[in-house]
Homo-oligomer: A and B are copies of this chain.
């Protein structure tokens, strides 16, 4: 009978802020200790933060983390076992420089090191660049007479199954090399980022692992934003049949104690999880946006309000993440701006209680065109004039950034990013792109969601046909397929990794491949889907492979 009391410490580390992360760990350890826990489990890479990327090529970085680790080890009390995640030097003579390891810390004892075996090297993950794999089968040890199997994130993801795309990537499942009878409890430390489908996938791999070993399992996931990734928490524990015993919240730090002696879930220990996908996305973006702004040292953001739906939704999210006093809107009307849209933009700012400044671009536009035509002769209305407007807006938005030390938010959505329907150095500007992984229809859904209780986004903004307003009477659908069809094609081609079928798919694929040069220079994009544009999708520019 396993009667441990185990604390699940779902924390939000700051990448590379070793002292700060150690302090956070220690606080939670004391909290667990004060409640007589036997064990406390933190997420993967708790001390380092995740994803380390090429910080690991700087030798001083892991050295600094190791110093902090040694300080931390000395401060761990004697009567509790602590699992944290850290990056530690590879103790073998050959191979990559580091292990991504779970460490077991106990006051007065030497720490144990359990390296990760399966190293995600796909999409946004680059672990094989610097990490040497260990062997999960060596990660079993005895604590208070019970046998614990220690795994790290991907180590439990090799199970075959329709919900687990990772399964096909690995030649072997390291869990099948561990004897079932050797395991009384499975521990998993994760840094698993949010995607629409991730919760279901995690439930599948955790349940499969627990039932395979006929042992209860504790799964502790990181929470917080790191560049494009949003770790959503949602840590939990299951019994040996995969039944949930404890559930932490998503999108916030949480700390809950599992008493295995109780054998079943206790009321009050099952956090309410946000159900509708649109609500999950909203919370994910708010967390990702807030953490990006704060963890880069900013406190304020601003954005251009066009009177269109994308900027309206980004403004709503930003106000929620940072408060209305920390978000400023600029309206930048040009020669083709609909006055009704401009009015709606001001109304939106008023509804959100955010400051709003108006700076027309028409005068600069005329001066600039005159300069150009003086040099090159008359230029018929077209791409030059259209992009010029977008770029003159960007110049003003960036001047505001320099003036106020404020971070510019980009308002591109996934559908237009796919088509390259944006102006490089124009509306592609910004320090972060919060809705770049939502297709247009999903942005619309979020707009409706913001209006579910009261009117936040003026109906005109939601109902008007999308337009870049860079030419007279221009509508997006003059250049793009109708959004519902475009959205489906983008989802199929990007997240679905599928081949084009039919003329519309072909058109989208060609536009997507031809606009890679723009996305190469795009801001970080908060990842929400199985496959977003951004650093997890690495396409060449100069190529002819349009299939």
Contacts and interface: CB of A to CB of B under 8 A. Distances in A.
Interface of A: 14-18, 20, 49, 51-55, 57-61, 63-64, 92, 94-97, 121-122, 126, 128-129, 132, 168-172, 225-227, 291-292, 295-296, 357-361, 363-364, 367-368, 371-372, 374-376, 379, 383-384, 387-388, 391-392, 394-396, 398-400, 402-403, 424-425, 429, 431, 497-500, 517, 520-524, 535, 537-547
The 7 closest A-B pairs by CB, nearest first: A16-B545, A60-B547, A295-B542, A15-B543, A16-B543, A60-B499, A17-B544
Contacts of A500: 60
Contact of A539 (B55, B520, B523, B538): B55
B95 A537 contact: no
Contacts of A53: 538-540
Interface centre among A122, A292, A517, A540 (most CB of B within 10 A): A540
A347 to B, nearest CB: 19
A94 B171 CA distance: 5
Contacts of A371: 359-361, 363-364, 396
B398 A292 contact: no
Nearest to A531: B57
A64 B547 contact: yes
A520 B227 CA distance: 11
A398 B376 contact: no
Contacts of A128: 121, 128
5 contacts: A16-B545, A18-B545, A94-B171, A360-B371, A361-B371
A115 to B, nearest CB: 13
A170 B95 contact: yes
Nearest to A395: B391
Contacts of A226: 540, 542-543
Contacts of A14: 543-544
Interface centre among A17, A132, A544 (most CB of B within 10 A): A544
A29 to B, nearest CB: 22
A359 B387 contact: no
Contacts of A388: 395, 399
Contacts of A375: 357-359
A363 B372 contact: no
A541 B296 contact: yes
A487 to B, nearest CB: 19
Contacts of A524: 520, 541
A418 to B, nearest CB: 14
Nearest to A51: B540
Contacts of A291: 542
Contacts of A129: 121-122, 538
A75 B83 CA distance: 62
B95 A169 contact: yes
Contacts of A357: 375-376
A498 B58 CA distance: 7
A542 B15 contact: yes
A400 B95 CA distance: 50
A524 B521 CA distance: 9
Given A54-B537, A95-B169, A364-B368, 7 more contacts: A14-B543, A15-B540, A52-B540, A59-B497, A121-B121, A367-B367, A398-B424
Nearest to A17: B544
A54 B169 CA distance: 15
B384 A403 contact: yes
A14 B384 CA distance: 31
Nearest to A63: B547
A503 to B, nearest CB: 16
Nearest to A392: B395
Nearest to A425: B425
B399 A384 contact: yes
A409 B128 CA distance: 34
Contacts of A522: 521
Contact of A425 (B57, B63, B360, B398): B398
A537 to B, nearest CB: 6
A538 B524 CA distance: 13
